[in-house]
Structure 1
Amino acid sequence: MCTLEKRGNIYLLTLTGSGEHRFNPSLLSSLRAALSSLLSSSHPSNSALITCAEGKFFSNGFDQSWVRTAPPSEHHIITDLHKGLISDFLSLPMPTVCAITGHAVAAGCMLALVHDYVVMREDRGFVYMSELDAGIKLVKYFTVFFNEKIPDNQTRRDLLLRSARLTAHEAMDRRIVDRVAHGIEDTIEEAVGLAEEVAATVSDGSKLAEKRKLMFPETWRHVSAAAGSKL
């Protein structure tokens, strides 16, 4: 599922295993439980969180096999939990860095980009909003998030209306990611360096979290109601 490891003042949240890390109730609940410990407990000053994943995928989005087998009355569960996960990241009282170590698709792409900073592996993986290709409706809070996160109309158009698959360098050119690195280890190492750099500038984590919510007010409005959602 996932692990949360403390390395000095840096926390490393890892989606474990060699699968696609698709979001079903079990994985989403596991991720939210890991973040709950950071939201509810004290932590060292100048802390930061890095999220990464093992294997080929960072996350391939919602678990469509779960959707196909679950009763329609339960489909809201994964969206509620995913909204809650996004609200958790917006609420974290520390800088967040995503190390995109593999494909980041649909809901997985949104999770990657909700971080304050993004480092992406250049030799494998892409960021990709697959809903158009898959014939799946883009839910409201996704659209709201991308409107606020990516102000460049052409980039937002290419992601949402053309389902462009952006490599690390293409994503960096479009200012979606901040840095690129080669291979999993180098990507995580680059993310650690960036996390330590930005963490050193934060003296009050709670003020950081409030500013983050103000940066994305409509996203926060759509996801905050799900903050208490649990399986």
Structure 2
Amino acid sequence: MPYLSLTDDAAEVFLGAPGRDLDENNPENRFSLEWLDEMNRVLEEAGDAGKPVILTATGKFFSNGLDTDYIAANVGDLPAYLDRVHQLYITVLTLGAPTIAAINGHAFGAGAMLALCADHRAMRSERGFWSLPEAALNMPFTRGMAALVRTRTPDATATEAMLTSRRYGGEDAVAAGIVEQAVPGDDLLDAARETARARAGLVNANQTTIKRGLRLPLLADLHTPTPPTLL
């Protein structure tokens, strides 16, 4: 489950269990209902800390996205489930603090989109991929998810990523405009903390006001309920 670690530089939100390389109950940091509940609680606590917020994880995965086992067993609940995922994106997009994603490993699908919600993104250079596998899996994007990718990456990148399911390594992700930095894994958190220190003076409620104005059309798309006819 997600947890919060407070340092001098930032409120660090880890997407998996503390003290483990892999969470035995959710090794890929997928968006289970319980995970979403805990992530929302941790983000609220992080937002109250008065520090920049870093999103990261340990082990092989940043996040592998949607809980496909839950979806397969609860197809009728898919629209409500996706709306909860959209709400998580809205929360990160409008936090009253600078946000930095430190992408430690694979970020696929909804997990890749979560990373896009951060204001600044750094990715491990020597291993791990950022990818949107929906086209390869014959899955659609919701209106909100399509808007998120379209507005948070360059048009050519959004087109390639969404239509081809390309896997981007760290340096490729920098070249494509998905992340701003690619650094060795041992330096990843330090790079994120350096960015946090540079932006520490910007933590205030005005950040939320500015972000809502900057991202108004995207937020409107994410607030749009997912139709039952999506699939």
**What's the TM-score once normalised by structure 2's chain length?**
0.88
| CA offset digits 1:92-119 (Å, max 9, x no partner) | 1100000000011110011001100001
Conserved? CA contact 1:24–1:78, under 8 Å: no
Q: How does 1:17-56 map to 2 (within 5 A)?
A: 17=17, 18=22, 19-39=27-47, 41=48, 43-44=49-50, 47-56=51-60
Which residue is equivalent to 1:11? 11
Which residue is equivalent to 1:89? 92
Whichever residue aligns with residue 219 of structure 2, its letter is W
Equivalent of residue 103 in structure 2, options 93, 100, 103: 100
Where do 5+ consecutive residues of structure 2 fail to align? 226-231
Matched position secondary structure for 1:131: coil
Q: How does 1:1-231 map to 2 (within 5 A)?
A: 1-17=1-17, 18=22, 19-39=27-47, 41=48, 43-44=49-50, 47-70=51-74, 72-150=75-153, 152-183=154-185, 185-200=186-201, 202=202, 205-224=204-223
Q: How far is the alpha carbon of 1:37 from its aligned partner?
A: 2.4
Matched position secondary structure for 2:107: strand
Which residue is equivalent to 2:229? none
Whichever residue aligns with residue 211 of structure 1, its letter is I
Aligned mates of 2:129, 2:171 — CA distance in 1: 10
Q: How far is the alpha carbon of 1:160 from its aligned partner?
A: 0.6
Conserved? CA contact 1:131–1:163, under 8 Å: yes
Whichever residue aligns with residue 67 of structure 1, its letter is I
Whichever residue aligns with residue 196 of structure 2, its letter is A
Q: How far is the alpha carbon of 1:9 from its aligned partner?
A: 4.5
Aligned mates of 2:44, 2:207 — CA distance in 1: 17
Whichever residue aligns with residue 21 of structure 1, its letter is N
Aligned mates of 1:95, 1:180 — CA distance in 2: 19
Conserved? CA contact 1:50–1:191, under 8 Å: yes
Which of structure 1's runs of 4+ aligned residues deviate more than 4 A?
none
Whichever residue aligns with residue 214 of structure 1, its letter is G
| CA offset digits 1:110-154 (Å, max 9, x no partner) | 10011000010011111100100111111111111122112x321
CA distance 1:16–1:9, change in 2 (3 Å): same
Whichever residue aligns with residue 214 of structure 2, its letter is M
Where do 5+ consecutive residues of structure 1 fail to align? 227-231
Aligned mates of 2:63, 2:129 — CA distance in 1: 11
Matched position secondary structure for 1:133: coil
Identity of aligned residues (%): 25
Q: How far is the alpha carbon of 1:222 from its aligned partner?
A: 2.7
Aligned mates of 1:69, 1:222 — CA distance in 2: 27
**What's the TM-score once normalised by structure 1's chain length?**
0.88
Whichever residue aligns with residue 157 of structure 1, its letter is T
Aligned mates of 1:21, 1:92 — CA distance in 2: 21
Whichever residue aligns with residue 151 of structure 2, its letter is E
Q: How far is the alpha carbon of 1:84 from its aligned partner?
A: 1.3
